[in-house]
Every structure is written in structure tokens, then in C-alpha cells.
Amino acid sequence: MANSPTGDSGTDRLVRILDTFTPTRTVQTATEIGRRSGLPSSTAHRIVNELVDAGLLERDEERRVRIGMRLWELSTRSSQALRLRQAAMPFMERVQARVREHTQLAILEQDEALFLERLSSPESGSNITRVAGRLPLHASSSGLVLLAFGPSDLQERVLSSRLAPLTRATLSDPAAVRRKLAEVRRLGHAIAPGYIEEVSTGIAAPVRDETGRVIAALSVVLPRDAESDFAVVELHRAAGDIARSLGYRS
């Protein structure tokens, strides 16, 4: 991908275009993509046409553009995301069947919690998490697990950044987050009552590889004042089963 006169590569332009699509903005015109990506309109139209020709983007009947099945296929079929969630699925299903609330798997990605999978049943309560969506490390139970057991430079970077509150319960003071991380390490799991939504409590446990490194967080979202002990036990059991299913001896 040759560099453009402005010095950014074709790869940069591709990322800027793909980045304009979000969980709530799934269809756009080429003009909207140009505006949101900050690319010159003619450049955006040309690249969108190329991507449509290759099947990486698709047009609907109104010539609006969306992410193509071919791009999903190419980026999923060999991905670590797929390997991890396939190993986790049978145990996530067990957690979901027994706890009967949203059950989720997240990894650390660019200083946020990226959710690889979410299982829900119709009777589950409120939950803003989405597959391939993200939540802040300091606010979500999954994020607190990934942060508490993560590298110290990650902790320092996150604690020195702005810790935006999502609700009145979210910890937004670095000292309070630091105490919470110590609690997570002591308990072996994270409990985040009302941090993301006032009405719910997130509970997360770490999935570890053979060396003890935390590679993912398995979590459930319960109603705010629900009893958490049963969910904690199920999460720890499933996290161990996922690690073994990935071939890690415990």
C-alpha cells in the first residue's frame, strides 16, 4: 500500500474507514464515511469502492455501505479471538445455564476490556456489554481483573489517566482504584457493584495460562443486590476449565 501525498499509508486509511463503523452505526454512506474518517471525500469514495469490489464492504439497496461478510470471515476464521471463545463456550454456557444471567469473556486490548463473547437469555437483566465492544478497565469487573493482574506499567498508565465515572458508584479516584485492585488480588476476583450501570453488579474471575499470567476475564452481570457467592464459585470453576481446555495444566 503506497503512501499518499499526506504521508499516511493505505493501511492507515483502511483503519480510519473501518473505525467509522461501530456497534450502533452499522450502515453509512460513502460521504459519511469520508467525513467521519477525516479523509478527503474523493479518497474515501475511491477506497470504499475498492473495498466493496473486494467484498470487504457491502452495499445495501440504498447504496449505503456496511462491513462485508468476507471481511468478517477473513478476520475471524484464524483469529485468537475465535480460538479463545470456542474453548470458552461450553463453560460459558454452563455458567449461563446455572447462574442464569449475562455471561461474558473479555481480554485486554489497547488499555481497555474487549469483549469476545456474551451469552444472555431473554430473562437476563440490564447489560450494556456487546460482543466486540469495549469497557474501561477501572469501571468494569472484567477490566478490574485484567488490570489487577496485569503488568505494573499498565496499572500506572491507567491510574495516571482520567478515570471517568460512568455512574455515581464508579471509582474515579486513583487511590480508591488502587485499593480496589489490591482487593481483587486478595479475593482472586472482582466485584463491581453499580460501577457500569446503577442497577447491576459485575463479577469477574481471571483465566490464567500455564505460567499464571491472566489471559482473559470471565464475568457475569447480576442485579445490583443479588447474592454473589454462587456466581463467584461458578466463575472460578469455569475459568479453570477454560484454561485446561486451552491446554494449560493447572
Q: Applying CB under 8 A, which residues contact a second copy?
A: 1-2, 4, 9-15, 18-19, 21-23, 25-26, 47, 50-51, 53-56, 58, 66-67, 69-83, 86, 89-90, 93, 97, 107, 109-110, 114, 119-122, 130-134
Q: How far apart, in whole angstroms, are the C-alpha atoms of residue 63 and residue 46?
A: 14
Nearer to a second copy, 33 or 139 (CB): 33
What is the signed CA dihedral for 30, 36, 41, 42, rounded to 10 degrees?
Answer: -70
Nearer to a second copy, 168 or 247 (CB): 247
CB of 88 to a second copy, least distance (A): 12
Nearer to a second copy, 70 or 236 (CB): 70
| H-only helix segments in the chain | 10-18, 30-37, 41-53, 69-76, 80-99, 141-148, 152-159, 174-187, 229-245
- Give the orientation angle of helix 141-148 with respect to helix 174-187, to 10 degrees: 80
> Do 155 and 147 form a contact (C-beta atoms < 8 A)?
yes
Nearer to a second copy, 83 or 179 (CB): 83
Identify the three-state secondary structure at position 103.
strand
Nearer to a second copy, 70 or 224 (CB): 70
CB of 104 to a second copy, least distance (A): 13
CB of 217 to a second copy, least distance (A): 14
Q: Shortest CA distance to 196 belongs to which of 106, 123, 110, 122?
A: 106
CB of 179 to a second copy, least distance (A): 30
CB of 246 to a second copy, least distance (A): 14
